[in-house]
Structure 1
């Protein structure tokens, strides 16, 4: 662990204390024994070799460091009690006491008077800001009759002794040192969090397909991402940190920036190309502090639309599976299939709930295949696969001229194409609230209106939807409309995850072996028993889809004798991840722990929370309402 903290010490005992606390807190620190200008010089050498994030110092040295470095400096100053102890010790030597301190730490007159009353003698205060001034003040104190020098660090004590006076150090207590290290760790954690958020945001901006330009309150350009460079044909170094007003006439098109008023979905021609842009002011407590402009090349939007439409239509509009295609032997799946068959023979809406990879679309196909609508079309769409504007036009269609690039004559939506049949809306929980409102109207009125059109088109469609999340919780969080949820959830089918029907695993293994033997012209008849045991012990977060992928890999690699070794490594690595059962100990905001001693239950809470947070100790500390240092101490105790 590389040190991120540098410490300056003014006397040997403090050096020892700093190093002891650093070791006890498992926080590596580089300790430099120097004060004032000398400390600046030595710390500069440390910074040249190490990536130091926080400096701990005290007194005048701390103030000197703040003036010379941009790194945060934490004061480990002595407490009032530490100062009183030094005065009490000095009084035993002489009643002629001089207190030497840096300007920022000078004692207030009432505090000094209180100290004088406690020790029963006067105290003169001498202020210095560097070693030269400290030397001068020592001489002045000697001339004024001071016999004992308090403060000034080890240097002050040495100078006092050289001038024929006594010197008393003001010792920093262990408590002050510990608190300084704790504050240093908090600053490092905050800086790391800020760095992660900054890098996270930068990565998003730099890899966005949309051009992004941001202006600050002074209308200086602060963000100009690679997509903006490509679309506008400008290198960012020509525009960053420059005033937008001076660039409009020479480099940037005026309509893009204007005066900061909000504009959405505006079309702008740049030579032979066209861009669609949005301009939004940044408001903080009613004050405009900047502006963000996003834009896309129209030709790219058109290519994306064409590709997505092609992929959708390549899927076909027919049901390709039935209940005979579902492989199982468990009683829980038998009950699920019986329930699905019962639902399939009705015309009511069905909501399928199940984790990713459990086969929700397979059940939707099968229910359509035994329904009275089986001769009609079966249309499936993944609602999370498309952006909102494309999803809207895909579901409800559009009229000619509804938007740039719209097909001549318009295009029917999937609800129209599913007329007389079934539409399967996968990942229904991912659609926006705006589209939820339109979908609710279609379900209630059984009619659609195309984008950009004014004609009402009646449709006769049975809706089967699916989600891999708790839509009821989404309703409670305001992320999903309650009226749409109740409309979709007339019939509810829950697909059990593979870990709840492990007796199906051997049957599924044989099924997928046969499937991939045919596909790859192989003759793999079985897998080793120890691998089967690993599979039966595994929690299968990816469910049947994950099992299918593993068997496909095994069949491909089996000829080179790599399969068994690779699968064994796969399971051993995965077993080290948090078990889904740890996550399933949560029900809403509740966690269940076994009865035991307070220490045992506290440990179990922390362990299960740690699994929930995927090992992120910062989130874990926030969830527990404690600092990372306190969390570290608890984990060390356990």
Structure 2
């Protein structure tokens, strides 16, 4: 009968059963039985069931001793169990036939024998000893002799089925005798058939204590083997799932293990090398290279078939004898990929680029020009300096450039340089070594440049960094390496630097507040973002988006703004640009009420807003409210007359798409004047470019630009 068909119900003899009463039905699935109990007595089977329940132990019981298939079942299924328990001659025969697993015998104590003999002697009849040839037989004879009934007892011993049948027939003739035997199925059958023919039976049964001792021994073996299996499985899992190739070679230079990573790295199948010696002619040479001379070696760089491998070699010795050599190895490129993955996981706190060019709202020519230029910048790895007023969307452009570049799968790290004091900014950017200062994290800390390796770092408000930080940034940009604060080891980094400022860095260079060499390194590519007042046609799509977002947040339904509402918004110069517009419309959504028209509320709020923000916080110059929707009005910044004249010409050229004849006509000036103003603007741009040159020309340019 197969193991899968075993039940826990009452079973017929010579059928196996799994005692799963220890695991109540519906609570949990019973564990695989690792103990087989070959029972020779129903009464002992019942005792074992109760023990299994008390010990929460899965035991499979085969009801039937040697003469009823128990021996054959144990032999056929020995590999399904960790231990076999039985008793009497059945246990002895199982133990003689099975060597793969332990066999535990339920012993009969002297007390068990004496109890049976005492019952037999009390009946005052001649004795007959019925027993299989085993260690039990001498014990029975010894007690019989000591009982004073030695001359009277008859011995009926057997070793196999044929002898059993012969002794059975002889026992049937012993009327008036008391037959003493070990309680087992064959003796119980005899008792059922012969007891009515004047033959008494006194059966020897193991005590509860001896049964429990045998079962506890089996349990101990199972648990010990389980621990060993767990230990072996744990080690196998470590080896099989290691990212490193692992090969073990015994003292006879024979390959004893070859894990999946080794198969992948060396492009070899384990079956082709296992159990083979390194010195065989057909053995792959790669294994001999990795094994080398077998000496201890850590982090050795080995070139193998065009791959750089980092190799560790560990000899294992016992009693001054080399037992094995463990060789572990990994591709350097794999290590680098893991490093990138680890850096990315360290940046899982939201330090990733979320925005793309598609997220930028607006259709104005000035904005489209900036986007097109930024897309071209994304195709390179050169440093980009983005200049723009507060709220113009500098970080939005930076993230878009990163996501459009070939570094999009690398980390993106952003830091506001104005938000931290110098010492803290230095340790954040470059990291620090263990013990660099009081309170330093044990083991040190990686800086943002390290974390941005193979990705992008965004330095916002770059114009706020101190001269000391400027010097360190310059070295990173020039040498592509960093030195942690308090460290003594140079770390190579591959990072693209994008920076942004709302200051005039060019003017700061002229005034000696910013290093010119760092300015040139940061601004290999330059991108100017137009303020909102120069692209008022974008207020409509921006307002539509911000109103929808603010309405959802406020839990209100606010209709799209009318054309009159938009014109009111366009007449304000928005010194805080898109961010200021967003906050204004958020306030509008919160305060919107069905009893007040939206246009009235906008007028009211815009009046309050103008009183509060009527002067540009950066330049402290008055704001001129104007809109490009009005054909006869322009937005200018108050300044020197020449600059304002240049602004007028530039704005009109933008409005007429470069039509100089139309600009001259509408401004009432000659085309020559238009050309002259354009030349002045070009001259300013050339002067800025001259300052980027090295050496004497830079100094001459600086002199020329003095007021």
TM range (shorter): 0.3 to 0.5
TM-score by length of 1: 0.44
Q: Which one has the largest radius of gyration?
A: 2
TM-score computed with the length of structure 2 as normaliser: 0.41
